[in-house]
Structures are given as C-alpha cells and as structure tokens.
C-alpha cells in the first residue's frame, strides 16, 4: 500500500490496506452556469447532492455552519456580505463553491460512518472556515459522499485559495481518515476519467465480472434473509436475473449474462448459499468484503492441524492474524482502551452486564411460565369446583371418584399449586392477563438491550483475548475459554 506522507499511523495498520476503493477525487471549482444566477447554480448543485432519493430522505446529509435544507440561501447570504465588504465577487471567473467526491469500497462501510468521515474530511480541509454540506449517496453499490463547500469564508472576509496540488492534500487527508477507520485506500492513484465510483487508480477498466463481485459483496453485507431476498436486492441494484441450472446476472449495457459458477471461489451458487447461511466467511480476495471493522479471534497457527497439513493455509492464517492484529488496535483506539487495565475492567463489566441481563430475562420467563400455569390451574379449579363439592358430600365415595376421576384430580392438582404459591386469594384471569402482557413487554425490552450487551461483550472479550496473545500474556498453545466466539 502506498503510505500517505505525513500520516502518523501505526505500522500494523498499514498491513491491512491491500488496495481498495477509498478515494477523494480532484477538487472541482464551481462557476456560475451559463444563463443562470449564482443562487440558481448553487441550488442546482446542492439539490443534486442532498437528493432525498439518494440520501435516505435527507437523513444522510449533514451541514457545517449551515442548515442542509437552506444551504443555498445561507451560501448566498455569506457571499452577499463579502461582496458588500470587498466588491470583488464578480465576473465570469468567479468561483462560487467547490465540490469533491469521496467513494468507498462496496460493503466496507455503513452510510453513517461514511458521512462522518466525509464531515471530518471537509472540516479539516477547510480548517473550519467555510460552510459545507456532506451528502452520503446510497443509491449505488458503492457508498459515496458529495461535499460542497462555500468558496467564501464564514466571516465574509476572504475566499478559499485553491493552491497548487490542493487535490493531493485533499486525497492525503482522505487516505489518513480512511486508515484511521480501518478502510481501504487506493494505491498510486491517478486522475480519474469517467465514473468516479469505479476509479481504481490506474488505467484498467473494471470488468463486468469484477463489478458483479463488488455488487454481490455489497448486497451480502446487508445480510439478506434468504436467496429470494438476495436476488431481489440484486435486481434493485440494477441487475437482470436469469434462473436456470445456474444463477446468472446481467448489468445494464452488458451484452451477455454472467453465470455465478464462472466467477468461482466465493461467488459460485454454492458459495452464495453458504454466505447467506453464515457458514462461509470471505477473507483475503481483492473483491471480498471484510464485513466488520471489529476484530476476530486470532488463529492459533502453532496448534492448528490445518496449518501443519497445508502450507497454504498457514500462510493465509498468518496474513489473517496480521489483519486482525491491526483491527484489534483500531478497535482499542476507537474505544479509548489503550491501557490494559481499562480493557480488562471494561471486559469484566461487559460480562457482568450480560450475565445480569440474562438473569433478569430468565426471571421474566419464569414469571411468564408461572402466570400461564396459574391461569390454567384457576380455569381447571373453577370448572371442577362443583364436581369436587359433590365428591366431598358423597363422603369421598370410591364410586363417585371412579365416575369423575379426571375432574377430581385436576381440582386437587390446582389446589396443591395454589398452596405451594401461598395464595390466600386467587387473582382474576383478567388481572393475570394484564400482568402477562406487562411482563412480556418487559422481557422484549430486555432482549433489545441483551443483544447489544452480548455483542459488546463478544467484542471486548475478543479484543482482550487478542491483546493477551499479542502481549504474550497467554501461551499460543493454550485453549481459551472464548475461542467459541468466532463470528
């Protein structure tokens, strides 16, 4: 990977960058369009950027020192004040704003993170002196940002100076933010001609097969429920689908269909089914998506039978471990866990939180079972009360017992259950139904917290396990309690 100059990033992080699609293209000066006013030109450009159909109804648009909904008006107000003060903002060569684009490898980043990275890029590049909006587009297989910033400073005293090779500075800032967030960057990038979403940093065109792989990775990143959902998502991504002995897809303007089996590896029909089922994890290929920036457990190569029997597997495991070491470092940095004692404490707290939630959920489940059983016994008790009263009047006649044995046993069983609970007065069925609904709602609410607590505990235990091994706190041959937490 080409290391951006001046980027102070740990060496281990560099090892995980193996090509990619992270890119900040050239800085594009925006002039007044022919036959348009400044306001109309800015409005057209910002309307395209914050298009609700591309930005999740505007949820993925953020602004700095301006409201994205009225950004064009606020840009103009700033410019008008500048013109009044300097009388310079005139002429055909007047630059009214700047636009840049930032693309991400399909499936590697979620929209919110992409938007945050774009915001940090714009803020650092403009030094906080210019209004800007960041609009994250999710209508393509690759998530990408459109950044538009006002050429006039917020204090209305000057304009942005588009210095020589400013696009290189912009790209280096983008690359640094990319590395800091564990994302891919482009090696040896060259100026892009054509569609920025397929910029590879060289003159090689992306093949139909590579485009299909990238789209498949992006679709699978969203974890479709089954094959039907996967196919529907591929259609929504613009692909035509052909069913036969083998699945085949065709992109717009593509002449022939591409069969999945021709892609081989992680993209065959069988591989797609395994990836949908979660039984196949993709590592190592150029187009494979590393579906999480969170660390996985390191592989114990020394004691791995596969490594001993396959040099190829051993080499893959070494690369995998190197990447996971970097992911662990990034995770620790992002979560402010660079002190081992803090990591140990957080892991213990997360485990305790998870266990406490588990106990509380079990208590709710026990009460739900108790209420269900109580409802059933109250119903049986009420239904058999008259029969049991007649049985007592008969002097507990054996003949009466033989004729009504089922009802009598139900009544006695219900009475024993009430006595075991110490009930002096039976609750009504309506009261129990109300309590059941309340307890069930509490259980469901706990489950929402439970899932997050479980994921948080797994991440911390994985990070701690990896840290222990990397620091030599545990031997490589030792079996770890949490080795089963592989994702």
Same domain, 438 and 316: yes
Rounded to the nearest 5 degrees, what angle is found at the Cα of 286, between the Cα atoms of 285 and 288?
A: 60
DSSP string, 46-84: HHHHT-TTTTTTTTTEEEESS-GGGHHHHHHHHHHHHHH
Taking CA atoms, 458 is separated from 289, 465, 483, in Å, by 21, 10, 11
DSSP element (H, E) containing 152: strand 144-153
149 burial via Cβ count (<10 Å: 0-12, 13-18, 19+): buried
- For residues 55 and 186, which has the higher predicted lDDT (pLDDT)? 55
Q: How far apart are CA 408 and CA 411, in angstroms?
A: 5
Last residue of a domain, one of 198, 226, 256: 198
| 143 bridge partner residues | none
Cα within 13 Å of Cα(470), Cβ side: 19
Band (pLDDT 50/70/90 cuts) for residue 15 is very low
Backbone phi, psi, residue 201, to 5°: 85, 10
Same domain, 193 and 228: no
Same domain, 348 and 444: yes
Band (pLDDT 50/70/90 cuts) for residue 84 is confident
Same domain, 443 and 385: yes
Last residue of a domain, one of 270, 293, 316: 293
pLDDT at residue number 307 = 61
Band (pLDDT 50/70/90 cuts) for residue 93 is low
Which of 35-44, 134-143, 155-164 has the largest mean confidence? 134-143
Same domain, 174 and 36: yes
pLDDT of 115 higher than 80: yes
Same domain, 277 and 304: no
Same domain, 244 and 366: no
Kindly report which listed range (127-131, 207-211, 343-347, 427-431) carries the lowest average pLDDT score.
Answer: 207-211
| 61 bridge partner residues | 135
Band (pLDDT 50/70/90 cuts) for residue 6 is very low
Same domain, 214 and 354: no
What is the SS3 assignment for 106? coil
pLDDT at residue number 475 = 41
Per the domain annotation, does 186 fall within a domain? yes
Mean pLDDT over each residue of the chain, to the nearest integer? 78
160 burial via Cβ count (<10 Å: 0-12, 13-18, 19+): buried
Same domain, 220 and 307: no
pLDDT at residue number 306 = 62
Taking CA atoms, 182 is separated from 260, 282, 292, 366, in Å, by 30, 17, 9, 44
Per the domain annotation, does 6 fall within a domain? no
Same domain, 330 and 444: yes
Q: How far apart are CA 96 and CA 89, in angstroms?
A: 9
pLDDT of 267 higher than 60: yes
pLDDT at residue number 151 = 92
pTM given for the model: 0.39
pLDDT at residue number 479 = 36
pLDDT at residue number 282 = 59
Band (pLDDT 50/70/90 cuts) for residue 22 is low
Band (pLDDT 50/70/90 cuts) for residue 131 is very high
Per the domain annotation, does 3 fall within a domain? no
pLDDT at residue number 207 = 79
Q: Using only the alpha carbons of the chain, give its radius of gyration.
A: 32
Q: 184 near 142, Cβ under 8 Å?
A: no
Per the domain annotation, does 385 fall within a domain? yes
What is the SS3 assignment for 151? strand
What is the SS3 assignment for 102? strand
Query: What is the C-alpha end-to-end distance of the chain, expressed in Å?
Result: 27
DSSP element (H, E) containing 249: strand 248-250
Per the domain annotation, does 463 fall within a domain? yes
Compute CA 344 distance to the chain's CA centroid, rounded to the nearest angstrom. 26
pLDDT of 284 higher than 50: no
Q: Determine the average pLDDT of the residues in 462-476.
A: 76
Kindly report which listed range (45-54, 197-206, 238-247, 439-448) carries the lowest average pLDDT score.
Answer: 197-206
Per the domain annotation, does 39 fall within a domain? yes
pLDDT of 198 higher than 60: no
Q: How far apart are CA 335 and CA 293, in angstroms?
A: 13
Domain count, the chain: 3
- Say which residues have a Cβ less than 8 Å from residue 122's Cβ, sequence separation at least 6: 64, 132, 134, 147, 149
332-380: pLDDT as tens digits = 877 888 888 999 999 999 999 999 999 999 999 988 888 888 888 888 8
pLDDT at residue number 134 = 96
Helices (H), 394-423: 398-403, 405-421
Last residue of a domain, one of 274, 293, 312: 293
Same domain, 316 and 231: no
Token output for 74: 């606020």
pLDDT at residue number 463 = 87
Q: 102 near 118, Cβ under 8 Å?
A: yes
Which of 17-21, 29-33, 281-285, 356-360 has the largest mean confidence? 356-360
Question: DSSP secondary-structure letter at 351?
Answer: H
pLDDT at residue number 175 = 82
pLDDT of 428 higher than 80: yes
Q: At what angle do helices 269-277 and 227-236 cross, to 10 degrees?
A: 110
Same domain, 22 and 144: yes
Per the domain annotation, does 350 fall within a domain? yes
What is the SS3 assignment for 463? helix
- The parent domain of residue 428 ranges over 295-487
Q: 377 near 427, Cβ under 8 Å?
A: no
What is the SS3 assignment for 452? helix
Closest alpha carbon to 46 in 11, 74, 22, 85: 74
Bridging pattern class, strands 248-250 and 240-242: antiparallel
pLDDT at residue number 301 = 64
Q: How far apart are CA 487 and CA 483, in angstroms?
A: 10
- For residues 141 and 458, which has the higher predicted lDDT (pLDDT)? 458
Per the domain annotation, does 1 fall within a domain? no
pLDDT at residue number 24 = 63
CATH of residue 86 = 3.30.930
- For residues 78 and 307, which has the higher predicted lDDT (pLDDT)? 78
């Amino acid at each position: 990977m080409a290391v951006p100059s001046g980027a102070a990033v740990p060496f281990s992080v560099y090892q995980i960058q193996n090509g990619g699609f992270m890119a900040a293209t050239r800085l594009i000066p925006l002039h007044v369009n022919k036959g348009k006013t400044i306001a109309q030109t800015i409005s057209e450009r910002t309307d395209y950027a914050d298009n609700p159909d591309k930005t999740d109804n505007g949820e993925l648009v953020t602004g700095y020192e301006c409201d994205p909904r009225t950004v064009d008006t606020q840009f103009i107000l700033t410019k008008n004040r500048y013109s009044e003060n300097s009388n310079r903002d005139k002429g055909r060569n007047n630059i009214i704003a700047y636009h840049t684009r930032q693309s991400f490898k399909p499936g590697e980043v979620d929209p919110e993170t992409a938007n945050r990275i774009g915001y940090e890029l714009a803020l650092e590049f403009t030094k906080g002196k210019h209004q800007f909006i960041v609009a994250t587009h999710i209508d393509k297989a690759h998530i990408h940002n459109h950044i538009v910033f006002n050429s006039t400073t917020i204090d209305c005293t000057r304009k942005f100076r588009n210095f020589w090779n400013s696009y290189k500075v912009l790209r280096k800032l983008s690359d640094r933010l990319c590395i800091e967030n564990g994302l891919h960057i482009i090696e040896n990038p060259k100026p892009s001609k054509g569609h920025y979403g397929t910029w590879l940093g060289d003159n090689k065109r992306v093949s139909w097969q590579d485009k299909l792989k990238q789209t498949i990775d992006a679709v699978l990143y969203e974890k479709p429920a089954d094959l039907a959902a996967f196919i529907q998502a591929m259609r929504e991504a613009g692909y035509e689908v052909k069913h036969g002995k083998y699945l085949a897809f065709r992109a717009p303007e593509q002449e022939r269909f591409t069969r999945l089996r021709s892609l081989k590896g992680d993209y065959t029909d069988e591989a797609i089914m395994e990836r949908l089922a979660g039984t196949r994890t993709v590592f190592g290929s150029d187009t494979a998506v590393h579906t999480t920036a969170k660390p996985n457990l390191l592989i114990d190569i020394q004691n791995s039978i596969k490594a001993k029997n396959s040099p190829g597997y051993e080499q893959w495991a070494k690369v995998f471990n190197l990447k996971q070491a970097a992911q662990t470092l990034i995770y620790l940095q992002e979560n402010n866990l660079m002190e081992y004692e803090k990591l140990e404490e957080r892991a213990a707290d997360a485990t305790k939180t998870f266990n406490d939630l588990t106990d509380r959920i079990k208590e709710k489940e026990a009460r739900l079972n108790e209420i269900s059983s109580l409802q059933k016994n109250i119903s049986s008790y009420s239904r058999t009360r008259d029969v049991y009263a007649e049985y007592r009047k008969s002097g507990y006649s054996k003949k009466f017992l033989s004729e009504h044995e089922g009802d009598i046993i139900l009544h006695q069983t219900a009475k024993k259950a009430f006595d075991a609970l110490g009930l002096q007065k039976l609750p009504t069925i309506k009261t129990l139904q109300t309590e059941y609904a309340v307890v069930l709602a509490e259980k469901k609410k706990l489950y929402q917290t439970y899932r997050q607590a479980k994921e948080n505990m797994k991440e911390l235990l994985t990070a701690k396990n990896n840290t222990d091994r990397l620091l030599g706190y545990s031997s490589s041959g030792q079996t770890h309690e949490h080795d089963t937490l592989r994702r």
